């Protein structure tokens, strides 16, 4: 039985691990992470945030590398996966040729998030290297001027993935299956980073709703946040399986633990629950 046909079922773990089922595997991975592993990592993540706030240099650098990873992992993963992905597909169409995928995966939301992440990176570097020095204005101006072109290049590298390569890659390693697998590792790791932020927002910013009106408003906010937090790392696979009915059910299932936390809220607007 072909597991790629609509309505068919994967046949065991081996089928789930096939390249064409990476999106399904990612959704299952996120569901297990949010259900089982998130508390273990969130305790350490929140501890790192608190230590960084208190001036611990090691925690500050770990936090910097965390944000830098969110900025760099998507273009690295997209570049590593691109050649192998289209070789497996064997057609001339780009992923955005699908009307639904093209509607969902526009570059502007991703570009905006990238600009904001660059601002966070720039702020950290300025505070760390120029906090006690004169002439901070010049590095700030340079960073601000670099933000737009660097964010454009980052977005271009990511969205180049959605068009079929017209020539062979410059490096022979990109033509090997190892490159595609390493690209998947980058995407999965990026998803973990996003999920840590997602869970931090769920616990730290949403007290228990006062009434049905607030619950409805929170549901709308949840939809917007999910587009900004879940879709950037998921879109590499979403474009390929956007037409499968199971895809949207699995995305909902993957985020269900967080959705419940957001809609239910916490007793107080803090993150001490971790």
The answer as to whether 9 is a domain residue is: no
Place 216 in a pLDDT band, splitting at 50, 70 and 90. confident
Per-residue pLDDT of 230-271, as tens digits, reads 888 888 887 678 778 888 889 888 888 888 877 776 655 455
For 245, how many CA atoms within 13 A lie in the half-sphere containing its CB?
5
User: Does the pLDDT at position 3 exceed 60?
Assistant: no
Closest CA to 247 of 78, 26, 99: 26
Per-residue model confidence (pLDDT) at position 158: 93
Instruction: Tell me the CA distances in angstroms from 262 to 8, 204, 265, one per residue in order.
Output: 33, 10, 5
Contacts 24+ apart (CB under 8 A), 196-200: 196/38, 196/41, 196/42, 196/45, 197/229, 198/225, 198/229, 198/230, 198/255, 198/258, 199/34, 199/38, 199/42, 199/258, 199/261, 200/42, 200/45, 200/46, 200/271
The answer as to whether 67 is a domain residue is: yes
Per-residue model confidence (pLDDT) at position 7: 45
The answer as to whether 7 is a domain residue is: no
Place 80 in a pLDDT band, splitting at 50, 70 and 90. very high
Tokens representing 213 are: 């009106």
**CA–CA dist 177, 252 (Å, integer):** 30
Cβ proximity of 206 and 266 under 8 Å: yes
Closest CA to 74 of 27, 117, 17: 117
Name the domain count of the chain.
1
Tokens representing 100 are: 């639904």
Per-residue pLDDT of 110-127, as tens digits, reads 888 889 888 888 887 777
Q: What is the mean pLDDT of residues 181-189?
A: 95
The answer as to whether 8 is a domain residue is: no
The answer as to whether 185 is a domain residue is: yes
The answer as to whether 157 is a domain residue is: yes
Per-residue pLDDT of 18-75, as tens digits, reads 888 899 999 999 999 988 888 888 888 888 888 988 888 898 899 899 999 999 999 9
Cβ contacts of 140 within 8 Å, gap of 6 or more? 122, 126
Which region among 4-8, 21-25, 135-139, 141-145 has the lowest average model confidence (pLDDT)? 4-8
The answer as to whether 102 is a domain residue is: yes
Tokens representing 211 are: 């009434």
Per-residue model confidence (pLDDT) at position 42: 86
User: Does the pLDDT at position 211 exceed 90?
Assistant: no
Q: Please give the residue that has the higher pLDDT: either 183 or 142.
A: 183
The answer as to whether 6 is a domain residue is: no
Per-residue model confidence (pLDDT) at position 21: 86
The mean predicted confidence, pLDDT, of the chain is 80
**CA–CA dist 59, 117 (Å, integer):** 18
**Residue 62 domain boundaries:** 16-264
């Amino acid at each position: 039985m072909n597991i790629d046909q609509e309505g068919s079922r994967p046949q065991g773990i081996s089928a789930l691990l096939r390249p064409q089922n990476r999106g399904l595997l990612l959704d299952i991975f996120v569901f297990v992470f949010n259900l089982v592993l998130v508390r273990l990592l969130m305790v350490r993540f929140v501890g790192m945030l608190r230590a960084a706030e208190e001036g611990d240099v090691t925690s500050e650098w770990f936090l910097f590398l965390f944000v830098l990873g969110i900025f760099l992992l998507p273009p690295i993963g997209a570049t590593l996966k691109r050649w192998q992905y289209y070789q497996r597909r064997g057609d001339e169409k780009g992923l955005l040729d699908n009307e639904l995928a093209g509607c969902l995966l526009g570059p502007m939301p991703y570009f905006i998030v990238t600009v904001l992440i660059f601002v966070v990176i720039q702020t950290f570097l300025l505070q760390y290297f120029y906090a006690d020095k004169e002439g901070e204005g010049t590095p700030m101006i340079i960073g601000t001027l670099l933000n737009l072109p660097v964010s454009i290049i980052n977005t271009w590298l990511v969205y180049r993935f959605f068009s079929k390569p017209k020539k062979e890659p410059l490096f022979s390693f990109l033509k090997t299956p190892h490159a595609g697998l390493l690209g998947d590792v980058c995407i999965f790791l990026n998803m973990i980073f996003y999920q840590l932020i997602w869970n931090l927002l769920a616990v730290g910013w949403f007290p228990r709703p006062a009434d049905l009106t607030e619950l409805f408003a929170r549901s709308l906010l949840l939809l917007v946040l999910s587009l900004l937090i879940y879709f950037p790392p998921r879109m590499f696979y979403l474009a390929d399986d956007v037409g499968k009915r199971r895809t949207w059910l699995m995305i909902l299932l993957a985020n269900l633990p967080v959705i419940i936390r957001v809609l239910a809220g916490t007793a107080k607007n803090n993150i001490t629950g971790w």
